[in-house]
Structure 1
Amino acid sequence: MTVTNELSPLLRRLRQKAGMTQEALAERAGVGVRTVRGLETGERADPRVTTVRLLADALRLAPEEREELLAAAIRRSGDGKPPDDSDESTGHVEPAAELPVPVVRETLVDVAEQLAQAVAARWQREEEQRQVHDPYPLPVCWRQVPEELTDHWANIRRLPAGDTRGPLDLSGRLDEIVGVYRRIPSGRLVVLGRSGSGKTILAVRFVLDHLKSRARTEAVPVIFSIGSWDPTAVTFRDWLTAQLTRDHPGLAAPGPGGSSLAAALVETGGVLPVLDGFDEIAGGLRRPALEALNATPLPLLLTSRPSEYAAAVAETDVLTSAAAVEVADLTLGDLAAYLPRTARKARGGDPAATAWDPVLSELRERPHSRAGANLTAVLTTPLMVTLARAVYSDTPDNDPAALLDTRRFSSPEDLEDHLLHNFTATVYRPRPEHRPGGRRAVDPERAQYWLGYLAHHLTRLDTPNLEWWRLGCGVRRPTRTLTTALVICLAIGLIDCVVGALFDSLGFQLADGVVAGLLSGLMFGIAYWFMVAAKDAAVEPSGVRMKLFGRAGKTMRRPLPRLMIGALCGLVFGGGYGFVRGVLNGVVHHVDLATSLGIGLGDGVLYGMVFVLGAGPTFGLLTLLETPLDIRSAVNPVDLLRTNFRTVATQFLVWGPTFGLLVGFGSEIVFEPMSAILGPLVWNVPSAIKLGVISGLGGGLGYALSLTAWGQWAVFARIWLPLTGRLPWSVVAFLEDAYQRGVLRQAGAVYQFRHARLQHHLARDYRATRDRPGPAEQLVEEQLMEEGKGVART
């Protein structure tokens, strides 16, 4: 019996058991009747997993039956016949022609399994870091939302025409979110909640619980911070693919049909998008974002604040086929059960008494008093409760009874600002356990200033994602270009002076170093402007690694285009360098201007040819050595930085010797025959060696600093921003320390602030501090004096 025949009778038996016709099943599942008929007769040998999942939802299968049906769909007969998806609801990525269909499908299932393991490990660590279970998770419950924020229940339940069954029971608690989601046939759920209500925590719990109960062939839930999506610039599926590739670089490896593994997973329904933070999308983009989500039938879970989602719905329509719930506020009973367990027991007297007892008594006995009403309004969200815990429970010297002082806090907003402001001061307070080798002590005021700059940087870029490779993007584009050019100018000028001094007099070499440095800075600055700054973009981290030994994998780019680009860059740089060098030599030797220009043109031609011979093959060789990252690689920000550094370092190790040798030998090859045309040329082996060494070191360094993500990190995060006092010298250590203290969180390859409210508060405080001349300059001076004593290495 063929594998196809395993699926056909199984589907027919399950449909008959449900008492449905083929037409009824097709209508409820949202697929074509021909699709159902083809699957039951065996004509369709390769159904999409998304299609089978829709059929399983429509049949309301038990978990065991559902897994059996999906498993039967994954196993294939191996005839290699591509599926005909013309009447299904979504597009299809053709499998690679050289691979049989079952191999392609099984490969994607294996990749999805590895992705699931990486996602589970990542969010498990993140949940532990946020102390969600200490002492226990705050109760997150939800309720139904107004009907105008949900689609028709017939669409949500995928009912056939004429079926008028009403709403589903979607009530539940944090640990029941997966069960609630699985009760929704459409697989589309919107979770609404005001700021700090626990939507992100709920999304994390959904992912972890879903992965625990996930069948091998089911989609992998992955959290995406949707606030960074611009639906007018990139399609939803392309954005999902880009985010997956950023957080899991190994998924950039080639997949079926030549597309990446990430694209294949998205297109085949292998990923269940958990879209966190719809409200963080720029105001003018929420309507096109909702329209784009309505254009795709992908199952998903979306979180948002109610007002922003309602405004987008009013402008266009609800999320198609999506149910919606709203997270409820915490109650006084929730606070009374949670806060005392986070505080130390009172010394002496009643051992059950804690510092929170007077506060809870006030809220319980006088809820309508001014102090009680203000505090009750604040402590209704998990965010504010956890901030109150950090400021008071975790700090024995602070008395939570101060929250009842109406002279200090006349409104709920004052209380919230107090908690937000004191959170960073609390987590950075000096601790007696700070010892050598332990967590480094950081001055709270400086930490707040640096965090404020980072928050301001994110606000300017209009994104919640703190990406280390974009830290320079907060600097104005002309300043970015000039800074990059200046650093390259100084670096190459220094290399030219040091290396050249081994061959020529120091005076001559100083002049040559100035020329080489200035010209290199100018050339690389121009290249940087047109390739990066003018586009107001950032240099993205490389998605490949360099493999010097052994057979490299399939490269991400073809060598020929890179060889041509390298040759063109070499021609521009060599021609410019030779021309300026020739003119200056003529001026030094008191030759008239016309002759100097002629010498410059001749040298420009010579050096242009030499650098073409060096740069073109070097770029091509680098491409041949590129190989995709391992598909199991799932990164955090520090891992991605280290991986990118290793790639750049290997590129430099290849670039330096290869480019140096090619330039050195190339000069010998070019200068000797050209002497017959241009006349006798002063050139010898030491000159060739000198040019090769300086070119190899200088060219590799200029490329690394201007056109790689790590190089831009070094220029701005390690030099410019610390030098101007906006960040500490040890940026990596500071960011990791902020993560350990709970100020930042990790979302794949990027950092984010613990909450958008905290980011906005710190950004506002930074702008206020920056506008006050005295304290800001004093803070910068102190930072430059003390932090400048030693620069920690990344």
Structure 2
Amino acid sequence: MRRWWRRPRVWFVVVVVAALTGYSGWTRFLRGEGRAKADQWSSTIGFYLASLLALVSLLVWLWRKESTAAGSGVTGAVDAAVAALARAQQEQWSAEEAARKVSDPWPLPVRWAVTARSRAVMVSWPSIHGAPGTGAVPLDGTFPDVAEVFLRDGSPRRLAVIGEPGTGKSTLVLRLTLDLLARRAPADPVPVLLSISGWHPAADGLDEWIADRLATDNRTLARLVPGPDGTHRTLAQELVATGRVLPILDGFDEMASEHRSSAIAAINDVLGPRRQLVLTSRSTEYEEAAGFGLLAKTPVVEILPLPVGDVIAYLVDGTERPARWREVTGALERGEGVLAETLSTPLMAQLARVAYQQAGTDPNELLAADRSTDRTALEQHLFARFVPVVYGTSVGDRPRRSPAEAQAALAWLGRLARRMEGRKTLDLAWWELGPWPVRPFVGLLCGAAFGLVALAALGAVGGAVGGGVAAAFLGFLTSLPTRPQRLDLAQVRARTLLIPGSAALLVGATLGASVTIRSGAGYGLVAGLVGAVAGFAFFLTGRLEVYVDVGRSVSPRRLLHEDRALAVATGVGWGIFWGVAFILWDITTPAALVALVVAVTVAVAFSWSEWGPFCFVRLYLACTGQTPLRILAFLDEAHDRGVLRQAGGVYQFRHSTLQSHLAAAAGVPTAAVRQGVAGGDPVTDPVGG
């Protein structure tokens, strides 16, 4: 990254400030000397015209130099962004795989094949290869060799993976992502694992959506670079357009049903013969979408049920007192009831292992009369045990929680799941936790504070009018969306942070000129310098914002810290700037008035961030008993215990069926829930929570 003093754009702004300062000083001088003589008029006009011509010439030169330097640096910027994105993906998904305990005690040997069911929703092999007479490529495989199968000679390096709920599709593509990253050569595309559930094909094409997601989760990728046609686009758009990204799209079935058929069409629009892509979906939902059109050029494989022997070994090995499993393993070997069918999916097998891993538990509860004949009842039983068990066990540096704490956590998670079900989303984002828009409310508070400023400065009538206008204006201003979709923490900030910096420079120069005319050159010089320093600091902040290290993995907490740091820096910086400006404008300004101006400025920056309204939301949710006060710490612990999974900057429940179960359980009356204690199911209402 070039030093700031070597950037032409920096000197572009410096020239603007210097010119405005010079003009203000020259204006002050003319007012003092007068313009009585014609020759003075001519010389004055000549000075202004000559300086204006010189200024324009210098600015044009600087602007062209900036454009040339930017264009020559695109290739290096893209290469650096690709390498950093690969590091971030490796760090993020390695940590996520460990958190999901995929290797505890070992990865389940998930198998897949091109079955009759998958062939029914797949185009022909000649269509896949784009050549007549070409035959099938062997794509059958198991969990450890997923990358080898994907990269096999003759493979189109496109794949759709279908299967029943809980068969391990998400875990499989997570392993594929990590294996492809480990084998990746510098010229290969970076595999990027994305949850596709939030994509709206009618609003965004696939490439636009992928670029927006990348820019949201990685701020550096929101940096604008010149494209081949001379227009500017983000680094994320550059990576996608040039094929430097291999999208691995998980959860096609989790999209709204009305979007799936159009999603297939949108994918086909960009799926050229060399385009690489992976997609996962439940079988039924994929078959429904395929009824409106098949996914072009893409083979489809189906995940197969786990063999009984693998399930038994997974349940018994490494657990305390393995003899406790004798009756269950016998029933599995005989294939009795629905037990073998239910535990043939990795999700249910893992839930059963977690629920009955400890010596004090009784796996024979799985053989109860109602559960041995009803798969839904058996699955609900395993879901009901899961959360209390993982909270009642120490995990890493997390100590075991008491039964009351586990029940409170279960209730809080249930309320969050119920809210997510109501919003029809699988993303648990900290900036969307509020039950109602908070920013307009904060804006009205800022307007009321501004009214106090006007009251002190203008008197009763003027203060009332000024306060009312300010309240309405700030309420409207702060209600404007800063995150229209998921672009808030990256693109919107990266594109607009230069505006406050440039505005501050101009305001500083204008302030210097105004104070010079009003109070003299001494005060004007000080005011201009203060404005220039403040604006220049904001300019550098804006530039540095775009250079955040993309090589670091993204997380909800990191996004919160970045948004908070930006809000604090902006609020404090502008507060100091306007406070000094008021003092310099009139040295007799009351200290209380200056303090109120600073407070209003800080409050506006606070409310216009995402961290500011989040502070109000978490306080409201805690006071109403819906979540703990330290909501992010609570979500971090739920992730560490395996209840939540991390998908970029948001959390999701471990599985959509777990979210649905917790949401349904959150609406069960307390008395109805407590009766399950005798049968071994935990209560689901909080105790003292």
Scaled by the length of structure 1, the TM-score of the pair is 0.66
Asked if 1 retains the 8 angstrom alpha-carbon contact of 2:84 and 2:551, the reply is: yes
From 260, 269, 286, the equivalent of 1:309 is 286
- For 2:6, the equivalent position in structure 1 comes to none
Alignment pair present for 1:712 and 2:613 = yes
From 659, 665, 688, the equivalent of 2:578 is 659
Alignment pair present for 1:463 and 2:379 = no
* Same amino acid, percent of matched pairs: 31
Deviates more, 1:248-257 or 1:320-329: 248-257
- For 1:109, the equivalent position in structure 2 comes to 79
Shift of the 253–237 alpha-carbon distance from structure 1 to 2, 3 Å rule, reads same
Superposed displacement of residue 303, structure 1: 0.3
Whole-Å separation in 2 of the counterparts to 1:702 and 1:515 = 20
- For 1:364, the equivalent position in structure 2 comes to 333
Superposed displacement of residue 243, structure 1: 0.8
Alignment pair present for 1:182 and 2:151 = yes
Shift of the 520–730 alpha-carbon distance from structure 1 to 2, 3 Å rule, reads farther
What is the SS of the residue equivalent to 1:625? helix
Whole-Å separation in 1 of the counterparts to 2:216 and 2:671 = 36
Superposed displacement of residue 483, structure 1: 4.4
From 276, 281, 287, the equivalent of 2:255 is 281
- For 1:766, the equivalent position in structure 2 comes to 666
- For 1:649, the equivalent position in structure 2 comes to 568
Whole-Å separation in 2 of the counterparts to 1:250 and 1:566 = 28
Contiguous gaps of at least 5 residues in structure 2: 1-65, 509-529, 676-683
Whole-Å separation in 2 of the counterparts to 1:307 and 1:420 = 23
Superposed displacement of residue 250, structure 1: 1.9
- For 1:157, the equivalent position in structure 2 comes to 129
- For 1:170, the equivalent position in structure 2 comes to 139
Superposed displacement of residue 619, structure 1: 8.7
From 375, 390, 402, the equivalent of 2:339 is 375
Whole-Å separation in 1 of the counterparts to 2:396 and 2:498 = 49
What is the SS of the residue equivalent to 1:191? strand
Superposed displacement of residue 661, structure 1: 2.2
Whole-Å separation in 2 of the counterparts to 1:219 and 1:771 = 55
Give, as a single letter, the amino acid of the residue that structure 2 aligns with 1:428: Y
Give, as a single letter, the amino acid of the residue that structure 1 aligns with 2:571: F
Q: Where does 1:127-166 land on structure 2 (aligned, <5 Å)?
A: 127-146=97-116, 147-159=119-131, 163-166=132-135
Q: Pairwise CA RMSD of aligned residues?
A: 4.0
What is the SS of the residue equivalent to 1:702? helix
- For 2:365, the equivalent position in structure 1 comes to 402
Whole-Å separation in 2 of the counterparts to 1:261 and 1:224 = 18
What is the SS of the residue equivalent to 2:667? helix
Whole-Å separation in 2 of the counterparts to 1:735 and 1:616 = 43
Give, as a single letter, the amino acid of the residue that structure 2 aligns with 1:302: L
What is the SS of the residue equivalent to 2:211? helix
Superposed displacement of residue 458, structure 1: 2.1
- For 2:236, the equivalent position in structure 1 comes to 262
Superposed displacement of residue 249, structure 1: 1.7
Deviates more, 1:727-736 or 1:619-628: 619-628
Asked if 2 retains the 8 angstrom alpha-carbon contact of 1:532 and 1:539, the reply is: no
- For 1:611, the equivalent position in structure 2 comes to none
Give, as a single letter, the amino acid of the residue that structure 1 aligns with 2:139: L
Whole-Å separation in 2 of the counterparts to 1:538 and 1:223 = 16
Whole-Å separation in 2 of the counterparts to 1:342 and 1:736 = 27
- For 2:638, the equivalent position in structure 1 comes to 738
Scaled by the length of structure 2, the TM-score of the pair is 0.75
Superposed displacement of residue 484, structure 1: 3.2
Superposed displacement of residue 409, structure 1: 5.8
Whole-Å separation in 1 of the counterparts to 2:256 and 2:495 = 38
Asked if 1 retains the 8 angstrom alpha-carbon contact of 2:415 and 2:663, the reply is: yes
From 648, 653, 665, the equivalent of 1:748 is 648
What is the SS of the residue equivalent to 1:295? helix
Superposed displacement of residue 145, structure 1: 3.4
Superposed displacement of residue 273, structure 1: 0.1
Whole-Å separation in 2 of the counterparts to 1:343 and 1:780 = 30
Give, as a single letter, the amino acid of the residue that structure 2 aligns with 1:307: T
- For 2:392, the equivalent position in structure 1 comes to 429
Shift of the 408–515 alpha-carbon distance from structure 1 to 2, 3 Å rule, reads farther
- For 2:170, the equivalent position in structure 1 comes to 200
Alignment pair present for 1:532 and 2:532 = no
Whole-Å separation in 1 of the counterparts to 2:488 and 2:531 = 22
Whole-Å separation in 2 of the counterparts to 1:171 and 1:445 = 44
Asked if 1 retains the 8 angstrom alpha-carbon contact of 2:502 and 2:535, the reply is: no
- For 2:489, the equivalent position in structure 1 comes to 541
Whole-Å separation in 1 of the counterparts to 2:671 and 2:532 = 50
Shift of the 486–735 alpha-carbon distance from structure 1 to 2, 3 Å rule, reads farther
From 193, 202, 206, the equivalent of 1:236 is 206
Give, as a single letter, the amino acid of the residue that structure 1 aligns with 2:474: F
Whole-Å separation in 2 of the counterparts to 1:749 and 1:770 = 34
From 297, 300, 316, the equivalent of 1:324 is 300
Superposed displacement of residue 489, structure 1: 7.2
Asked if 1 retains the 8 angstrom alpha-carbon contact of 2:122 and 2:299, the reply is: yes
Give, as a single letter, the amino acid of the residue that structure 2 aligns with 1:641: L
Shift of the 644–758 alpha-carbon distance from structure 1 to 2, 3 Å rule, reads same
What is the SS of the residue equivalent to 2:323? coil
Superposed displacement of residue 766, structure 1: 2.1
Whole-Å separation in 2 of the counterparts to 1:360 and 1:169 = 34
Q: How many residues align?
A: 580
